[in-house]
Structure 1
């Protein structure tokens, strides 16, 4: 698969439809896959923390969750065609799971949010088999989550621990499993549960979902400071590559 390297992180040059199709084939072949949907904040953290970068580099696919990643790929003259978000991929995998009766496991969020997420999935996708779930508040070094997942043998594991924990958890545990799609889905459980409203489609189509979320959650402004730093380093990479 072709990649564009953005500040040392290899982003898969793949669109949403192709990724979902690939994952569906891997599920049917009982293969294993690790999917990360990354934004500029994740890339900047990986450039500060070498261990975290190594976690990212274990992924089968790293896709552009943020429009900043797509714009960076254009600056580097190796364009990604579109955003491929964790939420959107999760929705399509749930549809496929409903059709094929795939087994899924949910990991993340607080207990109340997790329960609402489970209930809403079961209502919207009645043929999906939720074979297990665990909230995101657990002792990192003392839990039985790996054993529970292995015993239930899910086809898809949705990990909603937020960055950097979700990428770290999959990286550190994926070798314990023989099969399954393990995908980082960030705040998707909050949306599915009804706790958080996603940006209207008109905002999404204008690549303004980040602004909608900032207006709804002003406390996110500190996280936005990673964007100008990211842009500066991408331009620096561009200049180095041109010299």
Structure 2
């Protein structure tokens, strides 16, 4: 995954989901440490306003286009990306890999009841996974006890569900303390894993309108969705 596509200063990897998983599998087997960001237009726009967060994103090994808006933006910039790679789908593929290889996975974030239910479902659906440990998302970012807990569990994968920008900051700030492992911010994925929130039906996902389904189910998300037209407008200004 060497080619990059610049979208408003954030360099996305020009790759497919299949290629991404193949690359990550090789890195895991070689104990290569990997920081993955799955970025949507909201994350890109936040990076425009927060230079430190932008540096955090730029420190990642791979930035994956999670959001149809990013795909649209790259196309408008005449440097298209192959496909959208939803963060939840990428996480599930990594769980399949962990199940196959009996890898150690740490789950960090969400409310305790959501986290516990998500782990119960993971144990049921992926019996080959070794759950290295877990911790809810209600802690201070500089809490060294949480960092020690994750480190001592010797994980092969760490899924961080703290929401952006906190999850990327947490990974970036503690990444140097680990010798191996895939570290990936997964937003609200534990809510879906736990069954607390239902994902859009497959047809909606294929039509790239999963965002609309989520807006219908969670109308309070409208403020977040408002970033998309602003993002496209900034893309058009950049292009011109």
Same fold (TM over 0.5): yes
* CA-CA distance at 1:139 after TM superposition: 2.0
Aligned partners of 2:204 and 2:143: how far apart in 1?
42
Matched-pair contact (CA < 8 Å) for 1:86–1:183 = no
Aligned partners of 2:163 and 2:83: how far apart in 1?
22
1:155 matched to 2:156: yes
Q: Which residue of 1 aligns with 2:187?
A: 186
1:203 matched to 2:204: yes
TM-score (norm 2): 0.98
Q: Which residue of 2 aligns with 1:167?
A: 168
1:127-158 C-alpha deviation (Å, 9 max, x unpaired): 10001101100122234122112211110001
Q: Which residue of 2 aligns with 1:44?
A: 45
Q: Which residue of 2 aligns with 1:146?
A: 147
Matched-pair contact (CA < 8 Å) for 1:76–1:238 = yes
Aligned partners of 1:34 and 1:139: how far apart in 2?
21
Unaligned runs of 5+ in 2: none
Q: Which residue of 1 aligns with 2:12?
A: 11
Runs of 4+ in 1 over 4 A off after TM superposition: none
Count the aligned residue pairs: 239
Unaligned runs of 5+ in 1: none
1:28-50 C-alpha deviation (Å, 9 max, x unpaired): 00000000110100000000011
* CA-CA distance at 1:220 after TM superposition: 0.5
Aligned partners of 1:145 and 1:85: how far apart in 2?
28
Q: Which residue of 1 aligns with 2:213?
A: 212
1:26-41 alignment to 2 at 5 Å?
A: 26-41=27-42
TM-score (norm 1): 0.97
State the SS of the aligned residue for 1:154: coil
For the aligned residue pairs, the C-alpha RMSD in angstroms reads: 0.8
Aligned partners of 1:105 and 1:117: how far apart in 2?
12
Q: Which residue of 2 aligns with 1:108?
A: 109
